[in-house]
Each structure stands twice: as C-alpha cells, then as structure tokens.
Structure 1
C-alpha cells in the first residue's frame, strides 16, 4: 500500500509545473447568463471561458478523470428582510480519456459522479477531441431552476452562478499535491439580475 502511495506521489510531483507557467494564463470567466421560461419550468444557461493548463491535460492523458461543478442559486429580493433563496441547482461533470477508443467521455449528472450512484443517473457523450469535449463543458445549457410558480413573476431575478474544477474528487495523492498549485485553480463566480425571457 505504501509503495502504491509513493508511486502515485512521484507521478504527481512529475506533473507539477514551474511556478511561472500559470502566471501568464488568464483566469476563468463567465461570459454569458440567460434565464428562460418554457412550458415545463425556468431554465438558466451560461457560458464559461477558461484555458485548460497543460498540467491538467497531462493528467487526463494518463487516464485520470477530472471533474467540474456548475452551481446556480436564485434569490427573491425583499426590501423588508434579507433576500430569499427560491431555487438552487448543481451540475456535476466528469471528463475522462478512453485510451482504447481514443475518445473523450463526458458524464453529466445532478449528483456527484462517484461509484455506481452518480454513473447510474448520468448522461454521457463521446468526443473525438479534447477541444470538442471542453466546448461542451463550457456551454452550460438548461439548468432547471424550478417551476415558474416557484420562481415568481418578478421582472428581474437575482442569480448567482459558480463554476469550478473540483479537485476534491481527484485521487487522494493528487488532492494533497494540488494545494496551492495555481494550475488547478479554475474557478469563477458571477451574480446578475436577469430578465426572464419567454421561450420562442
């Protein structure tokens, strides 16, 4: 067991970047947020922009999956008290390289994708290239916030959207090694007051 841990630790150290490598990389940003009402509920769509560091690409090439999490919260503004949270939703995404097929698999689930539980209710897509898979991750489409009756009919709705690379689901040796490593810090948050658009 100790030998396996030491081997994993050595592999992780081999992937550590030079300190200057991450300084020139722009951070993640949320470039678009849109709230839309359809017959079956209210949905949030968002677009995220980020660059995947070469260190993370090398980890993926070794067959180790990485995880992203998108979260959204909606609040009702109240002049007489603190704002009331009326909706919250989370989307978990697992990206992994399949060496046998030389394709990239993206699993999407409303719950953490750990063991059979998360895989059992996840949707998956296969991609020919890492770039195509990342484009799918960056387009967060149709996060269901709830029914229109639950959301309310205010003209504007305050929405907070967060997106991050979830290092807590990496293998244990990597979790220890990524602490303080800027290349693993892909995270962004944005709050905006959005008008509810009717679906065409």
Structure 2
C-alpha cells in the first residue's frame, strides 16, 4: 500500500510540474508602461514629451506578423482641481496610431494623422510608437499662471478597431490583453515635469 501511495504522489507531482511548465511557456500578455511624461512651454502652447515602454506579448506579435493591424490610442488630459466643484477638464486629446506589418516588403508600418513611416524591425517600430516629442496639446491661454493642474497620459490598444473576428479573441483571451498603465503628474506653469 505505501508504494502505491508513493507512486500516485510522484505521478501527481509530475502532472503538476508539467502543467506549471505549460503555463510558463504559454503566451504572455503585453504591457504599455510610461517611462516619462512632461509638458514644455513653447511659442505655440504646451508641448507633450513622453516615452512608453511597449511589450505587445507573444500573441499580439504573432497576429501582427500575420497581417493583423493594431491600433493604439494615446490619450492625454489636463484637469484643474477645484475645491468647490468637480475638477475642470482643460484639455482632452486622443491620437490613434496604426501599426501593421507588410509581408511583401517585410517592414512594419506606423501611421498617424496623415504621416506614415516604415521600420525594418518590430523593436524600431515600437520604439517610435512609444515616443511623443513636441506634440502641442494645449494653447498657452488654456493654462493660467498660478493654477495647479493634473496631467494624465495613457497609451492603450484599441480593441474596437481590431478586425471583427479578432475582437472576440481580444475580449475572451488574456493573451490579447495589454495592460495600459497611466502616468499622472502635477504641474504649474513654470514648474513643469513628472
């Protein structure tokens, strides 16, 4: 009887180790994490400078390499705190970025607001997707001296713009989830940054 119990214990341990290995080898979900964000005053207004570290995860990378375009949305807001009422939203801006792969040219294409660029590697395309440099997000008159503001910056995968057959996968599978971590910071004119 004890040898039978030992063999069952060994078998259960082997099965659990196998399942654990399969889970570890399965596709991992992606993450979009802000590395930095700041507003710089310019002649035209306030310009956003930011950088995101983007990891799509293996399922999204595979779908992209098979020709499924991915749309990412950059969302930026500025709010002014008010003690007597709800916070006042000063700026709300969204920009869509479309990332696709062309199998014929073997290049990744990144398109936004009428501009389109090609990259040889996915790493280069993701680096440029995550970089915002000098995008004017607010007019100077929108931000008043002496007031404190809160800025929020987020980039996320827009699952609604996936091709219809993939939208169900994106809702049901964790492999298609991309965690979008927001970046919040306080600033006042003259004291800008993270």
**Normalising to structure 1: TM-score of the pair?**
0.75
**For residue 164 of structure 2, what is the aligned residue in structure 1?**
172
For the Cα contact (< 8 Å) 1:73–1:160, is it kept in 2?
Answer: yes
- Say whether residues 1:89 and 2:93 are aligned partners: yes
Q: 2:122 aligns with which of 116, 130, 154?
A: 130
| Counterpart for residue 143 of structure 1 | 135
Contact 2:80–2:147 (Cα < 8 Å) also in 1: no
C-alpha distance in structure 2 between counterparts of 1:63 and 1:43, whole Å: 34
Picking from 124, 146, 156, the partner of 1:154 is 146
Which 10-residue stretch deviates more, 161-170 or 147-156?
A: 147-156
Runs of 4+ in 1 over 6 A off after TM superposition: none
State the Cα deviation string for residues 101-149 of structure 1 (Å, max 9, x = none).
Answer: 221110012xxxxxxxxxxxx2111111111000001112333222111
1:80 is displaced (CA, Å) by 2.3
Is 2:184 the partner of 1:194? Answer: no
Structure with higher Rg: it is 2
CA distance in 1, matches of 2:75, 2:27: 25
Structure 2 residue aligned with 1:33:
37
| Corresponding residue for residue 57 of structure 1 | 61
RMSD (CA atoms): 2.3
Shift of 1:78: 1.8
Q: CA deviation at 1:57?
A: 1.3
- Structure 1 residues 55, 124: closer, same or farther in 2, change over 3 A? same
Q: Please, which of 41, 66, 79 is the counterpart of residue 75 of structure 1?
A: 79
Q: 1:174 deviation in Å?
A: 0.4
Q: Residue 14 of structure 1 aligns with which residue?
A: none
Give me the whole-angstrom Cα distance separating, in 1, the residues matched to 2:146 and 2:172. Answer: 42
Equivalent pair of 2:72/2:97 in contact (CA under 8 Å) = yes
Counterpart-to-counterpart distance in 2, 1:29 and 1:139: 12
| Contact 1:89–1:144 (CA under 8 A) maintained in structure 2 | no
